[in-house]
Amino acid sequence: MDNLPPMDLMRSEKMSFVQLIIPVESAHRAVSYLGELGLLQFRDLNADKSPFQRMFVNQVKRCAEMSRKLRFFKDQISKAGLLSSVRPVTQPDVELEELEIQLAEHENELIEMNANSEKLRQSYNELLEFKIVLQKAGSFLVSSGTHAVSERELDENVYSNDDYVDTASLLEQEMRPGISGQSGLRFISGIISKSKVLRFERMLFRAMRGNMLFNQAPADEEIMDPISSEMVEKTVFVVFFSGEQAKSKILKICEAFGASFYPVPEDITKQRQITREVSSRLDELEVTLDAGIRHRNKALASIGVHLVKWISMVRREKAVYDTLSMLNFDVTKKCLVGEGWCPIFAKAQLQAALQRATFDSNSQVGIIYHVMDAAESPPTYFRTNKFTNAFQEIVDAYGVARYQESNPSVYTVITFPFLFAVMFGDWGHGICLLLGALVLIARESKLGTQKLGSFMEMLYGGRYVLLLMSLFSIYCGLIYNEFFSVPYHIFGLSAYKCRDTTCSEAKTTGLVKYQDPYAFGVDPSWRGSRSELPFLNSLKMKMSILLGVAQMNMGIILSYFNARFFGSSLDIRYQFVPQIIFLNSLFGYLSLLIIIKWCTGSQADLYHVMIYMFLSPTEDLGENQLFWGQRPLQIILLLLAMIAVPWMLFPKPFILKRLHTERFQGRTYGILATSETDLEVEPDSARHYDEDFNFSEVFVHQMIHSIEFVLGAVSNTASYLRLWALRYDNLVIRLVGLAMFAFATAFILLMMETLSAFLHALRLHWVEFQNKFYHGDGF
Amino acid sequence: MYGFEALTFNVHAGYLEAIVRGHRAGLLTAADYNNLCQCETLDDIKMHLSATEYGPYLQNEPSPLHTTTIVEKCTLKLVEDYKHMLCQATEPLSTFLEYITYGHMIDNVVLIVTGTLHERDVQELLEKCHPLGMFDSIATLAVAQNMRELYRLVLVDTPLAPYFSECITSEDLDDMNIEIMRNTLYKAYLEDFYRFCQKLGGATAEIMSDLLSFEADRRAVNISINSIGTELTRDDRKKLYSNFGLLHPYGHEELAVCEDIDQVRGVMEKYPPYQSIFSKLSYGESQMLDKAFYEEEVKRLCLAFEQQFHYGVFFAYMRLREQEIRNLMWISECVAQNQKSRVHDSVVFIF
Tens of pLDDT, residues A13-56: 777 888 877 777 777 778 888 888 777 787 777 777 766 667 77
Of B281, B295, B311, B318, which Cα lies nearest the Cα of B83?
B318
Of B215, B216, B204, which Cα lies nearest the Cα of B312?
B204
pLDDT of residue A507: 54
Chain B: residues touching A (Cβ < 8 Å):
35, 38-40, 43-44, 47-48, 50-51, 59-63, 122, 136-137, 139-143, 152-154
3-class DSSP state for residue B172?
strand
Cα–Cα distances (Å) from A159 to A43, A235, A327, B60, in that order, read: 80, 21, 80, 52
* A508-563: pLDDT as tens digits: 555 667 777 777 778 777 776 777 778 888 888 888 899 999 999 998 888 888 88
Q: Is there a contact between B137 and A256 if contact means CB atoms under 8 Å apart?
A: yes
Give the Cα separation of B22 and A484 in Å (integer).
Answer: 47
Q: Is the pLDDT score of A136 beyond 80?
A: no
Q: Among A68-77, A638-647, B207-216, which is the least confidently predicted range?
A: A68-77
* A110-120: pLDDT as tens digits: 888 888 888 88
pLDDT of residue A166: 41
What is the percent of chain A with per-residue pLDDT over 70, rounded to a whole number? 80
Contacts of A146 (CB under 8 A, 6+ apart): none
Q: Is the pLDDT score of A675 beyond 50?
A: no
Cβ proximity of A686 and A659 under 8 Å: yes
Instruction: Provide the pLDDT confidence category of residue A227 given band limits of 50, 70 and 90.
Output: low
Q: Is there a contact between A206 and B43 if contact means CB atoms under 8 Å apart?
A: no
Q: Is the pLDDT score of A267 beyond 60?
A: yes
Q: CA of A196: which chain B residue's CA is closest? A: B136
Q: Is the pLDDT score of A679 beyond 80?
A: no
What is the percent of chain B with per-residue pLDDT over 90, rounded to a whole number? 21
Q: Among A100-104, A295-299, A742-746, which is the least confidently predicted range?
A: A742-746
Sign of torsion, CA A659 A661 A664 A665? negative
Q: Among A97-101, A345-349, A725-729, B10-14, which is the least confidently predicted range?
A: A725-729
Cβ proximity of B316 and B241 under 8 Å: no
Task: Give me the mean pLDDT over the A143-153 stretch.
Answer: 41
Q: How close B105 comes to chain A (CA, Å)?
A: 17
Q: What's the burial of A602, exposed, middle or buried (CB within 10 Å: 0-12/13-18/19+)?
A: middle
pLDDT of residue B211: 92
pLDDT of residue A672: 46
Of A114, A163, A131, which Cα lies nearest the Cα of A234?
A131
pLDDT of residue A22: 79
Instruction: Provide the pLDDT confidence category of residue B169 given band limits of 50, 70 and 90.
Output: low
Cβ proximity of B73 and B291 under 8 Å: no
The H-or-E segment that residue A681 falls in is helix A673-681
Give the Cα separation of A584 and B17 in Å (integer).
Answer: 49
- Left if phi > 0, otherwise alpha if psi is -120 to 50, otherwise beta: which for B162? alpha
Report for A24-28, B66-70, B283-287: range of highest mean pLDDT: B66-70
Helices (H), A161-261: 164-179, 197-207, 244-256
Instruction: Provide the pLDDT confidence category of residue B285 given band limits of 50, 70 and 90.
Output: low
Q: CA of A257: which chain B residue's CA is closest? A: B139
Cβ proximity of A521 and A479 under 8 Å: yes
Report for A136-150, A231-245, B212-226, B227-241: range of highest mean pLDDT: B212-226
Cα–Cα distances (Å) from A177 to A172, A184, A237, A268, A423, in that order, read: 10, 6, 21, 17, 92
* B300-320: pLDDT as tens digits: 999 999 988 889 999 999 999
Q: Is there a contact between A256 and B139 if contact means CB atoms under 8 Å apart?
A: yes
pLDDT of residue A8: 59
* B192-208: pLDDT as tens digits: 999 999 988 888 888 99
pLDDT of residue A518: 77
Q: Amino acid letter at A128?
A: L
Q: What is the mean pLDDT of chain B?
A: 84
Q: Is there a contact between A52 and B40 if contact means CB atoms under 8 Å apart?
A: yes
| Residue A486 backbone phi and psi in degrees, to 5 | -115, 130
Quick one: CA torsion of A560, A564, A568, A572, rounded to 10 degrees?
30
Sign of torsion, CA A131 A134 A140 A142? negative
pLDDT of residue A145: 46
pLDDT of residue A501: 60
3-class DSSP state for residue A31?
helix
Q: Amino acid letter at A207?
A: A
Can you give the pTM of this predicted structure?
Answer: 0.69
Give the Cα separation of A631 and A635 in Å (integer).
Answer: 6
3-class DSSP state for residue A408?
coil
Q: Is the pLDDT score of A655 beyond 60?
A: yes
Peptide bond into A517 cis (omega under 30): no
Q: Is there a contact between B60 and A207 if contact means CB atoms under 8 Å apart?
A: no
pLDDT of residue A505: 47
Q: What is the mean pLDDT of chain A?
A: 76
Q: Is there a contact between A206 and B152 if contact means CB atoms under 8 Å apart?
A: yes
Of A652, A647, A509, which Cα lies nearest the Cα of A571?
A652
Of A434, A480, A433, A412, which Cα lies nearest the Cα of A755?
A433
Per-residue burial over B125-140, b if 16 or more Cβ lie within 10 Å, else e, is bbeebbbbbebebbbb
Report for A177-181, B103-107, B141-145: range of highest mean pLDDT: B103-107
> Residue A8's Cα: distance from chain center in Å?
29
Per-residue burial over A625-642, b if 16 or more Cβ lie within 10 Å, else e, is ebeeebeeebeebbebbe
Instruction: Provide the pLDDT confidence category of residue A165 given band limits of 50, 70 and 90.
Output: very low
* A453-500: pLDDT as tens digits: 777 788 888 888 889 989 998 898 888 887 776 777 777 777 776 666
Give the ipTM of the model, two decimals please.
0.72
- Pairing of β A223-224 and β A234-242: unpaired
pLDDT of residue B320: 93
A201 touching B (Cβ < 8 Å): no
The conformation of residue A495, written as its DSSP 8-state character, comes to S
